[in-house]
Amino acid sequence: MGAQIAAHFANAGVPVLLLDVTRDAALDGLARARKLKPDPFFTPDAPTLVRTGGFEEDLPGIAATDWIVEAVVERLDVKQALLERVDRYRAPDAIVSSNTSGIPIAAIVEGRSPSFRAHALGTHFFNPPRYLRLVEIIRTPDTDPEVERAVAEFTDYHLGKGVVPARDTPNFIANRIGLYGVMQIFKVWAAPDAEYSIEEIDAITGPAIGRPKSATFRTMDLAGIDVLAHVVRNLAGSLRDDKERDVFVLPVVVEELIKRGWVGVKSSQGFYKKDPSGEIVTLDTASMTFRAAAPARLASLDAARAIDDPGTRIKTLFTGTDKVGRFLRATLGPTLIYAARVTPEIAHNIDGVDRAMQWGFGWELGPFETWDAIGIEQVLESCPVSEPPPLVRDALARGAFRPKRMGHSFEPVPPAGPGLQILREAKERTTVVRRNAGASLIDLGDDVLCVEFHSKMNAIGGDTIQMLQAGVKEAASRFRALVVGNDAPNFSAGANLMLLLLEAQEGNWEEIDLMVRAFQGATMALRLAEVPVIVAPAALTLGGGCEVVLHADRAQAAAETYMGLVEVGVGLIPAGGGTKEMLARAMEATPYTDHTDRTGNRADSQAIVQRVFETIGFGKVSTSGPDARRLGYLRPVDGITMNRERLLADAKAVGLARAKDYVAPRQRTAIPVLGEGLQAALKLGVHLAWRGGRIGDHDAVVGRALARVLSGGSLATQTTVSEEYLLDLEREAFLKLCGEPKTLERIQYTLKTGKTLRN
């Protein structure tokens, strides 16, 4: 865990000294971190910010550090012994935090100097720290409030985390409630008269109730069943209430898995494993062997998929009369009551509890949002208690934990601080300027307009294109800047492939031509707008979504942005200006030399275009925002926001700064292209890759089409061309590829499976 925390500080550009019991152990820890999948580092270069050392030789080096994070084994005596040594070497104003999942911070810092205790607190990073947003911050009575504020601010703005202050109680907030929920599931699953399989429980406790796809048993395999057991035992040993302690007892089958070393993914088997054929098989607890997976067949879950609103979906399933409803009333119900009972002890307010479960465990709705969604009286009727907790009694008197808004929905958890979720606040504060099925225009305030995508997966279709065009016109007439972004999980999964497939199958080539022209017109409108256009991508930003980003005056990307021009995967090339823009940017970014190769082309220019060809031709997708810079999707002038919920606020600020002296760009009329000499070289590379079996027949067809566009078409020599010329080449190639049967096969396969067909 220490190496992964160090990795995330390095992601934020912070130099780190990583210490372990020996120098070799620290090096090994860093090496293991670099091999982890998913990668804890943003880029291959990020580990260079991490130096390693051993406690014996290098501990004095902490004297030069501002923040010391202790992340050794979860044993009080070990932590206390190390921090006693840290106290000797730390600078007087250095902050010291313990990364612990549940040991009381006051006990860890007991006996340290007054200065140490004033600068000490707990910082519980959830694992893996790059990908899970939650950091619980735990102060002691001796912690200087300014120290807590500084750590919370740095963790929020620079590390991109969701910070929740927690009280210094066993396992703090998220693990306390989350593990209680797991124990309720174990209780039902392991009961003598159990009626639920592992697959059924994972089907019920996943996206159906607003939880991650890994649900319950798959999550335990990923986290480590031994880790789960360790945290549960620590919690049971720390609780003062004997009745509560009895809840945290692991089933016999879990103890047996640990005894056998079947602790999940890291041991290649746990509740699930992959058999030699590659199939995922499931644990049979009766025989302690593995059997073929038995997909859950639960009619109410199938029906609930049609319910988009998570609160309505949860209520429908919870109140159902089938086995899904019985399961949720036996597990989710007691967990909600428990959360209400312990919240005053573990948290400062119900908002912190809801945020902790959303950011730490991936719940779409926190416990108190779930109470309101189901209905307080309904929960109490389904799960009777002798005496409702005081929080529940108070909420009953008010009618809800959170008041209702206009209409039927309850108030969501408010933002944790200023500058967070400004789009949501803008929609609640002002009237939407304009809206259709695919996107909306929202006034963000301060004369900044926003285009918000809201189609399924934010796929780009005619409605989205129409609103992009309208946004440019509206912004030019009465706003200072335009932001394109949204609060959805993904910025955009690309163009609407289903619509394209239907038109191609009908042979409506003129209609496809008009669709492509419209998208090219929209992206060029963004690029040439009279006001600065700031596009704010996050998470999946693929195909057409990437092309929108490429045409911004500036991009302000979330650190976790997975961006790429992936059209080759469906047998096409980027034709919304993406191919043109990647070429133009690359040629503008590198100055020419007079060196030429044998074909008469400048050798450095050919290498530049070759890199662009490979980026598009292999459908490369960035692993992070900084990695998107390495691939050329983002420029050095484009910004990175670590905290996703601050992304649109940062984009708005960039837009206002750019608006002060903004001059709209002109259309490019002299983009260098290298002609048939380069086209021949690129096509030779495609042929050799095909002959070597590295690409398939249709990959070669697509590769040749891409080579033609990037070299400038049928031009005999090196020259310059306009943006319009390259857009025409893109569109021509795209239309020809739409007429290829194997392209249509790829599109159909991707729409059906979400995967890529290599034909």
Q: What is the 3-state secondary structure (H, E, C) of 187-213?
A: HHHCCCCCCCCHHHHHHHCCHHHCCCC
Residue 512: which pLDDT band, with cuts at 50, 70 and 90? very high
Predicted pLDDT at 242: 62
Predicted pLDDT at 406: 54
pLDDT digits (tens, 9 = 90+) for 407-465: 557 777 877 777 888 888 888 877 789 999 999 999 999 999 999 999 999 999 999 99
Predicted pLDDT at 105: 96
Predicted pLDDT at 431: 74
**Residue 484 predicted with pLDDT over 70:** yes
Predicted pLDDT at 759: 87
**Token pair of 460 as six digits:** 């780009």
Q: How large is the angle between the packed helices 697-711 and 578-589, nearest 10 degrees?
A: 50
**Predicted TM-score (pTM) of this structure:** 0.92
Predicted pLDDT at 405: 64
pLDDT digits (tens, 9 = 90+) for 244-298: 788 899 999 999 999 999 999 989 999 999 999 889 999 999 999 999 999 999 9
Interval 709-738 mean pLDDT: 96
Q: Do you find a cis peptide bond into 165, omega within 30 degrees of 0? A: no
Q: Kindly tell me the sign of the dihedral angle through the C-alpha atoms of 567, 572, 577, 583.
A: positive
Q: Which residue has the higher pLDDT, 426 or 475?
A: 475
Domains of the chain, start order: 2-166 (3.40.50.720), 174-398 (1.10.1040.50), 422-743 (3.90.226.10)
Helix or strand run (H / E) with residue 138? strand 134-138
Q: Which of 411-425, 500-514, 650-664 has the lowest mean pLDDT?
A: 411-425
Residue 649: which pLDDT band, with cuts at 50, 70 and 90? very high
pLDDT digits (tens, 9 = 90+) for 182-206: 999 999 999 988 899 999 999 999 9
**Residue 167 predicted with pLDDT over 70:** yes
Phi-psi region of 375 (alpha: psi -120 to 50; beta: other; left: phi over 0): left
Using DSSP, state whether 744 is helix, strand or coil.
helix
**Residue 600 predicted with pLDDT over 70:** no
Q: Kindly tell me the sign of the dihedral angle through the C-alpha atoms of 572, 578, 584, 586.
A: negative
Predicted pLDDT at 424: 86
Q: Which residue has the higher pLDDT, 650 or 423?
A: 650
pLDDT digits (tens, 9 = 90+) for 304-333: 999 999 999 999 999 999 999 999 999 999
**Token pair of 82 as six digits:** 């190390």
Interval 559-576 mean pLDDT: 97
Q: Which of 353-357, 425-429, 650-654 has the lowest mean pLDDT?
A: 425-429
Predicted pLDDT at 614: 97
**Residue 603 predicted with pLDDT over 70:** no
pLDDT digits (tens, 9 = 90+) for 39-54: 999 999 999 999 999 9
Distance CA 217, CA 205 (A): 10
pLDDT digits (tens, 9 = 90+) for 536-557: 999 999 999 999 999 999 999 9
**Token pair of 716 as six digits:** 């005999």
Predicted pLDDT at 338: 96
Residue 115: which pLDDT band, with cuts at 50, 70 and 90? very high
Q: Which residue has the tokens 């050798």?
A: 603
Residue 528: which pLDDT band, with cuts at 50, 70 and 90? very high
Predicted pLDDT at 599: 46
Predicted pLDDT at 597: 45
Interval 86-97 mean pLDDT: 96
Predicted pLDDT at 237: 85
Predicted pLDDT at 474: 97
Q: Measuring CA to CA, which residue among 376, 403, 378 is closest to residue 391?
A: 376
Average confidence score pLDDT of the chain: 94
**Residue 595 predicted with pLDDT over 80:** no
Q: Which residue has the higher pLDDT, 583 or 430?
A: 583
In three state form, how does the secondary structure of 328-382 look? Answer: HHHHHHHHHHHHHHHHHHHECCHHHHHHHHHHHHCCCCCHHHHHHHHCHHHHHHH
Residue 235: which pLDDT band, with cuts at 50, 70 and 90? confident
**Residue 692 predicted with pLDDT over 80:** yes
String of DSSP letters for 661-719: T--PPPPP--EEE-HHHHHHHHHHHHHHHHHTTSS-HHHHHHHHHHHHHHHTSS-SS-E
Phi, psi of 443 (to 5 degrees): -80, 110
Residue 353: which pLDDT band, with cuts at 50, 70 and 90? very high
Of the chain, the percentage scoring pLDDT greater than 90 comes to: 87
Distance CA 217, CA 202 (A): 7
